Every structure is written in structure tokens, then in C-alpha cells.
Amino acid sequence: MRYLILTYYQKPNGQIDEVVSVAKNLKSRDYQTSSVILDFKQLKVIQATMNGQTVPKDFNKIAEYYYQFHKNTIDRLFAENGYEVIKEKSDVQNTSEEHNPS
């Protein structure tokens, strides 16, 4: 997979739903309905709007923001596109403690 696609829908009660998908190719529907499209092969922002307002197309900032909510998906996209995911020392330590409880 190459693209991370995020689409937001507002429900009649005012709540906003987020739909996250990944794709190998983009469709015209993706451009029309999606709020955020990130290209993990070229590490660039294809589209980024929030509430109808265009936001700065800084790939690192946007990917970092969504990483806190979609860590596994973003790790997989980086790996599948040939980028190494480097975990912080505290993440590695926490992971090893979970697998080897004292």
C-alpha cells in the first residue's frame, strides 16, 4: 500500500466520524471526498484540508500528528514503501518489558 486516506463525515447530531483507509492507487472519489491523503512512497501530502480550510502541506507534521492515533498503520506504510521505522529507546524498552514480565 502507498497512500493513507482520511475522510471525515459529520453526523446529523454534530459528531464527526473519521474513516481511515490505505490504497495502492488513488481514485477520483478519493480526491473529491477525502480530507487528508498522504503518499508514503514519495513522502508528500497530496491533499490536506480541515473543515474546508487548506492546511500547510508538511508531510512530517501531518504524519506525526496521525501517528499517535494510527501507529500500526503508519508503521506498515513506511515499511512497505522501503523506509525503516526507528523506534525511540523508551518504546523498545516498554515493548521488551511487556514480553518479559518480571
pTM for this entry: 0.79
Determine the Cα angle at 41 with ends 39 and 45, to 5°. Answer: 25
pLDDT of residue 96: 42
Determine the Cα angle at 27 with ends 34 and 81, to 5°. Answer: 85
Q: Decide if 33 contacts 70 (C-beta within 8 A).
A: no
Query: What span, in angstroms and rounded, lies between the C-alpha atoms of 27 and 39?
Result: 14
pLDDT of residue 102: 46
Copy the grid coordinates of residue 31.
480526491
> Is residue 13 over pLDDT 60?
yes
Q: Domain residues of the chain, as ranges?
A: 3-99
pLDDT of residue 21: 97
pLDDT tens-digit readout, 23-74: 999 999 999 999 999 999 999 999 999 877 888 899 999 999 999 999 999 9
